[in-house]
Amino acid sequence: MLKTRIAVLVSGGGTNLQALIDAQKSGIIKNGEIKLVVSSSQNAFALTRAKDAGVDTAVVSRKDLQTQQAFESEIKKVIDEYKIDLIVMAGFMSILTKDFTDMYPDRIINIHPSLIPSFCGKGYYGIHVHEAALDYGVKVTGATVHFVNEIPDGGRIIMQKAVQVRDGDTPQSLQRRVMEEAEWKILPLSVEMISEKFAAAKNGTDGMLQER
């Protein structure tokens, strides 16, 4: 049974990567296999999580490469070397342009810590998303998994989960709850849902008419 080959793009703590690693171990992700972790930063703790789980890693740092184009072709090189089917951006803080996303249509997904279309797009990342939610005074926020295209947080929505905002929440306490109650749940479920589809196609069990 061929499985979907997954690469996870990271930049920081890697708690979403950890959720994916744990979900693969527990069998929530059974049609996919994390084959590679690519970090945009040399000292991302996500790299330690990957190594502890026996997953191959690569570092492609934007500042070490002269141009965006060189950065993206380095990422493409290792993605293609590992014959990756599905690219998962999990706390990945670098920009990927249309040149890159157009090469992998409906094969790149991202986890965003709000209920898109709220608090998303340019400038809304990490803790800033939760600062904006608290500033606005929303009573409910959450997380969204979506396909990635050239528009920041603009691709088709795959899954969302709502989280209550509590009186006295700080951006940090809200971020933690959104991670625990939403991100770490819907990202593994979304990865398994898409992996199942990709694996069925790879194994010719997706009911599509097969070449004789």
Q: How far is the CB of 19 from ligand GRF (least distance, A)?
A: 8
User: Is 112 known to be catalytic?
Assistant: yes
Q: Which is nearer to ligand GRF, 17 or 50 (CB)?
A: 17
| Cα–Cα distance, 69 to 185 (Å, whole number) | 34
Question: Would you tell me how many other CB atoms lie within 10 Å of the CB of residue 202?
Answer: 16
Confirm or reject binding of residue 90 to ligand GRF (CB under 6 A).
Answer: yes
Q: Strands 108-112 and 140-147, how do they pair? A: antiparallel
Binding to ligand GRF (CB under 6 A) within 2-21 occurs at 10, 12-17
Any idea of the CA torsion for 118, 121, 123, 129, to the nearest 10 degrees?
30
Number of residues that bind ligand GRF (CB under 6 A): 15
Q: Which is nearer to ligand GRF, 10 or 148 (CB)?
A: 10
| Cα–Cα distance, 84 to 124 (Å, whole number) | 28
Confirm or reject binding of residue 183 to ligand GRF (CB under 6 A).
Answer: yes
C-alpha triplet 50, 55, 61: angle, nearest 5° = 60
Pick one of 95, 126, 160, 169: the residue that binds ligand GRF (CB under 6 A): 126
105 preceded by cis ω (within 30°)?
A: no
Q: Strands 140-147 and 157-164, how do they pair? A: antiparallel
Confirm or reject binding of residue 91 to ligand GRF (CB under 6 A).
Answer: yes
Confirm or reject binding of residue 155 to ligand GRF (CB under 6 A).
Answer: no
Note the residues at the interface with ligand GRF (CB under 6 A).
10, 12-17, 46, 90-91, 111, 113, 126, 175, 183
Catalytic residues: 112
